[in-house]
Amino acid sequence: MLSLAIWLGRVADIAGAGLPYAIFHVIQDLFHGGMGAVMLGSVMILVLARDTAAVEDNIMQSAKLVSLGEMTADVAVELNNPLMSIVGYTTLIMEDPDVPPGRRRDLELVLREASKAVDMTKQLLDFAGRPEPKLKVMDIEGPLDEALELMGGRMRQADVKVVKSMQKPLPFVSIEPDQLKQAFVNIMNNAIDAMPGGGQLEVYTTAPGPEVEVCFTDTGTGMSKEIIDRIFEPFYSAKGTPGTGLGLSLALSIAREHGGSLEVSSQKGIGSSFTLKLPTIAEVAATLDSPDHQVS
């Protein structure tokens, strides 16, 4: 149809027929305009379709997290009650001076393992609905050193050498020390699991800008892009060993609750780096003093 309109327009032009030429020329313009509109509409539909798909994925992910949170809370409560009873009654029995030494060692083992299970249910409950952190203004080195000390035994057992480097002085941050220590422990546990044959874990702190950064770099197996994209999902685990799959998602949750972030970079066969960033006190104060900050 377009070719016919072009040729008829040319014939009209040669014949000097002004009105037919104008009519066929308008038809050509309308056709081109219509094609342009169709192409633009197609592009818009494609973009909107992608945006819609992304929104739908986010909604589905949020719904999954809500369901998982509710299920986690129910399971954790059901497990926590009998575990607390085991811990309580074991403690009472151990207070009896007439308990034989051999039996006392057995009871200590029961108490230790039951306490581990209680800690795990606490993590599950925290994931389902973590209370507001009780923040303290302090140096980040304290919780980090405590976490390193706590992980010392497992590091030696896994033949992992720790290299620590601290920038001094570091700006103060507003943190809940126990929660932050838990985040550090979870990140280091993940690093150890990534080095089944041993290796090196470099832990260093720096403050290049308005944030304090704590970086954990391992010489492990590294991760593919597919794993990186899912590494912070609750209950997702790329390990060959069983686990809750909550360690890194909890670490990310703690970082966000402190106004910070947790970032990862990795190369297959080389290793991975997890960087936890927290705003300094000066940055928090600047945010609160900003005219754009509104108290709700």
135-138-140-145 Cα dihedral, nearest 10 degrees? -100
pLDDT at 142: 92
**Lookup result for tokens 């999902």:** 233
Confidence of residue 260 (pLDDT cuts 50, 70, 90): very high
What's the pLDDT at 217? 97
Residue 120's pLDDT is what? 75
When mean pLDDT is compared across 146-150, 249-253, 289-293, the lowest value belongs to: 289-293
Q: Check: pTM over 0.75? Answer yes or no.
A: no
Band of the pLDDT at 10, cuts 50, 70, 90? low
- The answer on pLDDT for 240 being more than 80 is no
End-to-end Cα spacing for the chain: 63
d(CA 135, CA 192): 29
Task: Give the pLDDT score at 296.
Answer: 36
- Whether the pLDDT of residue 23 is over 60: the answer is no
Residue range 209-218, pLDDT digits in tens: 889 999 999 9
Percent of the chain with pLDDT over 70: 60
What is the per-residue pLDDT across 74-101, written as a single tens digit (0 to 9) for each?
A: 566 567 667 767 877 788 788 888 888 8
The answer, yes or no, to whether residue 35 has pLDDT greater than 80, is no
How far apart, in Å, are the Cα atoms of 56 and each of 51, 65, 69, 126?
A: 9, 14, 20, 27
Model confidence at 16, pLDDT cuts 50, 70, 90, reads low
- Among the listed residues 281, 222, 226, 278, the one whose alpha carbon sits nearest the alpha carbon of residue 252: 278
Mean pLDDT of 47-69: 58
Strand, helix or coil for residue 14: helix
